[in-house]
Structures are given as C-alpha cells and as structure tokens.
C-alpha cells in the first residue's frame, strides 16, 4: 500500500487530494514540520521532520515523502506526477505530449508562482508596514504569471487535455496560497472560476476536511 509521510497541513495535501480523485488506497504517517514545534527533539515530541527515523527516510527533512512498491520519493509534485502517470487516465497523461505539458504547468506553478503566493499567505494578515510592503511586492510579481494562467484557462478551461488532471491539482494547490488576496485575484476571472470548480470537487472537499481537522 502507498504510504504518505506528512500531515495534511503541508504539501502532502496535493497527494491526498489526488488519491481521493483516483480512489487510491493509502496509509498516512502524520509527520509534522519541525518548525511548528517548540522543541522538536524533546523526548515527547511527535514524529517530525527532525526525528531521526524520518531523516533516515528523507535526509532533506522535508514532507511529503511517499513509499510505493519499494520506491521512496520526495518533492510533492514529483510524487503527484509519478502517481498520476502510474495510474493513468483520466488524471494521468494520455501520451508523451500530455506528460510534458503536465510537468510544464506544474513546474511553472512551483517556480513562477509559489514563492510569492506563500508570501501572500503567510503575511497577508499582518498589520506591519514592512510586511504589507512585502505582500504588495509579491502581488505585483504575481501579476504576470497569473495572467499567463488566465489566458490559458480562458481558452480551454483546464490545464491539460480539456479534462481535470493532476496538473489542475498541482496548480490549484499553489494558487490557493494567494486565494485570499481579493484585489489580486479579482483581476483574473477565468482563474477564479477554474479554482472554484477545482475546490468544489468531492475529493478536494474530503482532503480539506482532513486538513481542517488537524491542529493548526
């Protein structure tokens, strides 16, 4: 059985959403991020990304990590793309061209959007002038890549193949970080409509309920 190491309040959410979309059984080991703990090395600390047993599995000390048929794999988008390719249509690629496009859009989201989107997420509620300036700068940098997605989605409605795929999961989970910036998102109606459709899916709702049930 597939094992997912990582709490749902992490990038493991992408994997868990995918598993519920394709009906894939898995076991979750709730490894928590060490930075969320006062003393991750305390004797009574929960399993975390600095626990020696987890570091033996993942020397980088980052979640999620999966174990699948003897394969140990880290990096959330590598994991989702691997599982989608392994389990095939409809979420996986139909051919090499779709496979390449799914990687293209996933990596575009990870490199061109995610860093600034995380700034919006983590500092968006701050009242400090320095933090507000950082959010404003991040939102400004997001304009160009979000416009790329807006133009793409306005033509086809989905990321790849005119159907919901792993690329939609990977990109939607990155865009979610900036979703709370209303002034920014309002500029991209096709992107908003697509994201709302993604988040209405039963598999997303299942994942989100699991995430909300975990301690913040």
* pTM higher than 0.85: yes
pLDDT at 216: 86
**68 and 19 in contact (C-beta within 8 Å)?**
no
Q: Tell me which residue of 2, 83, 10, 1 sits closest to 47, measured CA to CA.
A: 10
pLDDT at 9: 97
Counting as low any pLDDT under 70, the low residues of the chain are none
Which CATH entry fits the domain spanning 2-90+205-213: 3.40.30.10, 2.60.40.1180, 3.40.50.300, 3.40.190.10? 3.40.30.10
What is the SS3 string spanning 165-216?
CHHHHHHHHHHHHHCCCHHHHCCCHHHHHHHHHHHHCHHHHHHHHHHHHCCC
pLDDT at 156: 86
CATH architecture of the domain formed by 96-201: Up-down Bundle (1.20)
pLDDT at 169: 98
């Amino acid at each position: 059985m597939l094992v997912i190491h990582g709490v749902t309040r992490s990038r493991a959410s992408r994997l868990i959403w995918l598993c519920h979309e394709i009906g894939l059984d898995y076991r979750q080991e709730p490894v928590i991020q060490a930075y969320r703990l006062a003393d991750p090395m305390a004797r009574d600390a929960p399993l975390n990304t600095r626990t020696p047993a987890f570091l033996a599995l993942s020397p980088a000390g980052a979640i999620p990590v999966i174990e699948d048929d003897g394969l140990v794999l880290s990096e959330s988008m590598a994991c989702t793309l691997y599982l989608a390719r392994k389990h095939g249509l409809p979420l996986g690629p139909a051919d090499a061209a779709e496979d390449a496009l799914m990687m293209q859009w996933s990596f575009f989201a990870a490199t061109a959007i995610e860093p600034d989107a995380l700034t919006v997420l983590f500092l968006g509620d701050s009242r400090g002038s320095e933090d507000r300036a950082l959010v404003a700068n991040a939102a400004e940098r997001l304009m160009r890549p979000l416009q790329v997605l807006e133009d793409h989605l306005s033509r086809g409605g989905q990321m790849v193949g005119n159907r919901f795929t792993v690329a939609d999961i990977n990109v939607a989970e990155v865009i979610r970080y900036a979703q709370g910036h209303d002034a920014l998102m309002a500029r991209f109606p096709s992107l908003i409509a697509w994201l709302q459709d993604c988040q209405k899916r039963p598999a997303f709702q299942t994942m989100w309920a699991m995430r909300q049930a975990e301690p913040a």
